Amino acid sequence: FEVMLPEWLVSGKRILDIGSALGAAGHWCLSKGATSYTGVEIQDNYRLTSHALLSKYWNDFDLVKTLDQIDGKYDIVIAAGVIHGFFDPYQTIKTISKFSSSSRNFT
């Protein structure tokens, strides 16, 4: 994460992590000064384990099952290793970009 999400990039930012698995990116970002972290993980066992692990150290996080449970904008949107799992990657990127505070209209 030091290369993908360096402290200077995540400090003071709201983070959305699509395909958050066990929440390692969340722990990293929060430990480097992110103001909040939201993980999206469809697999219940990963999401529940992530909640147990993150709650030992952090309060400013939320974990949800689907993108439908997300609202608002995020400074950084992570979708590492998940785009290939969707039937329509273009539509997926278009949907994900709605959550970015810096997104432009994606057409």
Write the DSSP symbol of residue 80: T
Q: Which of the four pLDDT bands, split at 50, 70 and 90, describes residue 102? A: confident
CA gap 41, 30 in Å, rounded = 18
Write the DSSP symbol of residue 105: P
Q: Which of the four pLDDT bands, split at 50, 70 and 90, describes residue 107? A: very low
Dihedral of the alpha carbons of 106, 12, 65, 5, in degrees to the nearest 10: 80
Choose among 77, 101, 67: nearest CA to 5: 77
Question: What's the mean pLDDT in 33-53?
Answer: 98
Write the DSSP symbol of residue 104: P
pLDDT at 103 over 80: no
Per-residue confidence (pLDDT) for residue 86, from 0 to 100: 74
Single pTM value for the model: 0.90
Top pLDDT among 22 and 89 is at 22
Question: What's the mean pLDDT in 47-58?
Answer: 98
pLDDT at 82 over 80: yes
Long-range contacts of 84-92, Cβ-Cβ distance < 8 Å, separation of 24 or more: 85/19
